[in-house]
Amino acid sequence: MDHAADAHRTDLMTITRFVLNEQSKYPESRGDFTILLSHIVLGCKFVCSAVNKAGLAKLIGLAGETNIQGEEQKKLDVLSNDVFVKALVSSGRTSVLVSEEDEEATFVEPSKRGKYCVVFDPLDGSSNIDCGVSIGTIFGIYTLDHTDEPTTEDVLKPGNEMVAAGYCMYGSSCMLVLSTGTGVHGFTLDPSLGEFILTHPDIKIPNKGNIYSVNEGNAQNWDGPTTKYVEKCKFPKDGSHAKSLRYVGSMVADVHRTLLYGGIFLYPADKKSPNGKLRVLYEVFPMSFLMEQAGGQAFTGKKRALDLVPEKIHERSPIFLGSYDDVEEIKALYAEE
Ligand code: AFP
């Protein structure tokens, strides 16, 4: 019998135990973050269960509404948004919420307020719902640094001020990837226990990868550096192998693969979308935070992504993120401009 393996199997590090362990390193901590996270985890479990049942429960289909980005909202988007907003408000630990699905920020009523602000995309990649491809929830957390009435200014802060970020991927397994600023850790939902168990401690992205991930259908509208970079991926002139192309079109799935296997994920600006497509607060920042914590980089084409200061809650930005050396190459091409 393999006693070491058995000990591992019987000493389960749940996400709550993990965060409580982290919390014990800060004697002044009162457990607010642990409580907030447990509400986010609850939201993820609910959405995971809804996504799994979607086909059966006839939840798939249009809800007859469009969101502020002009996109069709699916029933699962509406449901996921409701679940997360209610879970976050009822945690009693939040003051400002920004969701991809809501035009305006939500300000929590005074009696339920707490010291955190949460920005999130409750169900990213929703155009993939109908074909069963992996989708996910993305979130970033800021602290409220004053006791005055909260405003949107409390979330219009650079990503480097986030205290935590993560995503939950609803795929062949349900996985929550989290960073509280001390590395990146992955937890897989054990459906029989209903608990997220630490399965991927201290994830480090390889320094260089052999995969690039981009919607190449937009190539005719790209700028010079992006065009040159993708050309280099396909036809390297330095004797290295050409990179493979992988693109799901669901940011959580594409970033998750990039984090584990290395390589680069690009959503550049193009002539039609000069600011790219992805949203700064709840797509670009959380994923950039995770990439940096895993040893990679995230770049906008102009600067370090986490140094952006958003002016609007639904602002967009071009983004290039992934392995350190791969992002270094695209930075060099933009520097030549
Ligand atoms: P949807 O939620 O509309 O499916 O958009 C997903 C997304 O915001 C992000 O998850 C993808 O990386 C990106 O858009 C894909 O965009 P393209 O379809 O333009 O490649």
Residue-wise pLDDT for 124-177, tens only, equals: 998 888 888 999 999 999 999 898 999 999 999 999 999 999 999 999 999 999
Describe the chain by its helix, strand, coil percentages, rounded to 5. Answer: 40, 25, 35
What's the CA-to-centroid distance between 86 and ligand 1, angstroms?
Answer: 25
Average pLDDT over residues 234-261: 97
Separation of 34 CA from ligand 1 center, angstroms? 31
**Ligand 1: nearest atom to the Cα of 267:** 12
- Provide the 10 A C-beta neighbour count for residue 204: 14
Determine whether 295 is exposed, middle or buried from the number of CB atoms within 10 Å of its CB (0-12, 13-18, 19+). Answer: middle
pTM: 0.93
- Give percent of the chain above pLDDT 90: 81
Which residue's CA lies nearest to atom 2 of ligand 1?
A: 125
Where would I find the H helices in the chain? 3-10, 15-23, 32-57, 75-90, 224-234, 251-261, 285-293, 324-336
Q: Strands 297-299 and 264-267: what pairing?
A: unpaired
Bridge partner list, 291: none
Q: Is the shortest distance between the CB of 124 and ligand 1 below 6 Å?
A: yes
Least confident of 32-41, 49-58, 64-73: 64-73
For residue 172, the CA-to-ligand 1 centroid distance in Å is 19
- What pLDDT, in 10s, does the model give residues 253-262? 999 999 999 9
Report how far residue 334's alpha carbon sits from residue 318's, in angstroms, rounded to the nearest whole number.
13
Interval between CA 128 and ligand 1 midpoint (Å): 9
From 135, 277, 321, mutation site for ligand 1 pocket: most ligand atoms within 8 A of C-beta = 277
Q: How far is the CA of 167 from the centre of ligand 1 (A)?
A: 15
* Average pLDDT value for the chain: 92
- Which atom of ligand 1 is the closest one to the Cα of 128? 4
Substitution candidate for ligand 1 out of 127, 248, 266, 288 with most atoms within 8 A of CB? 127
| 97 alpha carbon, distance to own chain's centre | 16
Query: Is the minimum distance from the CB of 277 to ligand 1 under 6 angstroms?
Result: yes
Cα-to-centroid distance, 270 and ligand 1 (Å): 15
Residue 127 in contact with ligand 1 by CB distance below 6 A: yes
